[in-house]
A and B are shown apart, each in its own frame.
Chain A
Amino acid sequence: MAINRNALLYQLFKLYHREAVRFATRLVGNRDSGEEVVQDAYLKLVARRSTTPIDHPKSYLYTATRHAAIDFTDRQNREWQRRVDLDSLDEAHLADDGAVRMEMQRELAKLAVYLNALPPPCRQAFVMNKLQGYTHLEIAAHLGISTSMVEKHIVRALLHCRSLLLADGDL
């Protein structure tokens, strides 16, 4: 049973490798990291030795890739944090409790990955409003869409993040 499953995973990753890497690259920002993430995803699935059947192979692969991207991002941030002077009033660092801070960083890693998975116009509207502080009117002008479309994009980005946070809750 285990051997068949590993064979299946191997075939799966071989078949969808290029797409998986392209997806992972979007999530973590560059191709090398994307390749590493797909490798991680594969190794993790193989190591898990699960016996549950894979009903939807492609979505299984994508979910595993997303999870590996989250781990990767989280690990990268922890590495970065060790090297950076944390002197700021950043809310993520205000938490004195190390465990709470790790939780917050983990959640941020998830949010970053989820947002990067969004289609460009949707992500752009969200980033411009939430992270860069543009008004809906300014975003609409910049993107050549209506303000109601801008509002829909941003709401969609939030709902997307929320539903994935719920789905990946125990990660």
Chain B
Amino acid sequence: MNELADTQADPVEEALHWIVRLNSGAATPEDAAAYAAWRAENAGHAQAADEAERLWAAMSNLHFDRRSGRVLAAPKQGLTRRGALSLFLCLGASGVAGGALWSSGLLNRLSADYATDTASLEVIDLPDGSRVSLNARSAIDVDFSDGMRRVHLRAGQAYFEVAANPARPFEVMVDELSFRAMGTAFDIVRDLPEARAELAVTEHSVRISTVSGDTLDVGEGEVARIDRQGRIGAAVKTDVSAVTGWRDGQYVAEGRSLEEVVSALSAWHHGVIVITDRQIKKLRVNAVLDLRDANGSLDVLQGGLPIKVRHVSNYLTIIS
């Protein structure tokens, strides 16, 4: 890029073009790296990028009111109801942390009964006395009827504390996967990089059923995964308090892949996290991370792994 081109093209406009492209849902790690390179080219680009990113970030606080079809500047609550707004800074780009995993849950989140934003936790009291805790960027639909208490986990992760009622089974659906409980407490996360869902039971037991008729009862202190092909894995004895650490703003990784860890952190991060090296995605991580400081947590990871974490800006972090 020569000087002449710089004076003719407004760098802030160019930066905004980049940001739009990175948020298209089709951006690749190469795109993110190219933006980082453009940004680093000179002080003018860096400043323009800062301004553009700031505008984009500020707009995250806007809301769309479906009723009137208007954009509002009204303050939000962390929790939103059906018909109202669900605000997400979501990028849905394959290769970008959360990427394709997010876009599959996206449409579900938008029309959900309850949904949380980035870096938000919420607790919902259901009419039967059960309680659901939602992790960041998560969503549920509540579908109670006379004979059945059903909750659909549309996106993210939730911790369920179920009020006992033998006459009315409590069932959580992750698409067509069923998790049935009678009076228990358990955690379900969906759309992990290598699993459709993961269940951790903290009290009593939960029965998993698939459409093909496979079932598995998972007991207290056990974790089970359903892989991307829909196969239920074995129930494994685990420290389930580690799995539910997110409820206190902590993410405890015990042998989790870097990809999975970054996916969990990205729900608490307002920008883009990109892993450019496919091989490092599978590195195993053992760490206790602070979800409320996603960037700091990424730096902590750098301490224990052969990776390089580069905070290109508040908005963009590249891991290589």
Contact = CB atoms under 8 A, between A and B. Distances in A.
B16 interface: yes
Contact of A131 (B25, B26, B62): B62
Interface in A34-81: 73-74, 77, 80-81
Contacts of B120: 88-89
A62 B255 CA distance: 61
B153 interface: no
Nearest to A109: B73
A161 to B, nearest CB: 7
A81 B62 contact: no
Given A135-B25, A137-B25, A130 B61 contact: no
Contacts of B20: 129, 151, 154-155, 158
A92 interface: yes
A122 interface: no
Contact of A105 (B12, B23, B73): B73
A169 B238 CA distance: 57
A158 B16 contact: yes
A89 B78 contact: yes
Interface string B9-42: 0001100110111011110000000000000000
A116 B71 contact: yes
A74 to B, nearest CB: 8
Q: Which of B21, B23, B73, B88 has the most CB of A within 10 A?
A: B73
Given A116-B71, A127-B64, A133-B92, A90 B16 contact: no
Interface string B52-80: 00011111111111001011111111100
Contact of A111 (B12, B24, B73, B78): B73
A18 interface: no
Interface stretch (B102-110, B168-176, B305-313): B102-110
A152 B110 CA distance: 24
B97 interface: no
Nearest to A92: B61
Interface of A is mostly: helix
Given A81-B75, A151-B21, A135 B58 contact: no
Interface string B136-174: 000000000000000000000000000000000000000
Contact of A91 (B17, B57, B110): B57
A99 interface: no
Q: Which of A86, A134, A161 has the most CB of B within 10 A?
A: A134
Nearest to A28: B70
Interface string B114-135: 0000011000000000000000
A162 B73 contact: no
Given A89-B78, A90-B75, A147-B26, 6 more contacts: A89-B120, A91-B60, A108-B58, A109-B73, A135-B24, A161-B59
Interface of B: 12-13, 16-17, 19-21, 23-26, 55-65, 68, 70-78, 85-90, 92, 102-103, 106-107, 109-110, 119-120, 270
Question: 10 tightest CB-CB pairs across the interface, nearest first?
Answer: A135-B25, A108-B73, A133-B90, A112-B73, A29-B70, A88-B78, A136-B24, A133-B88, A115-B71, A29-B68
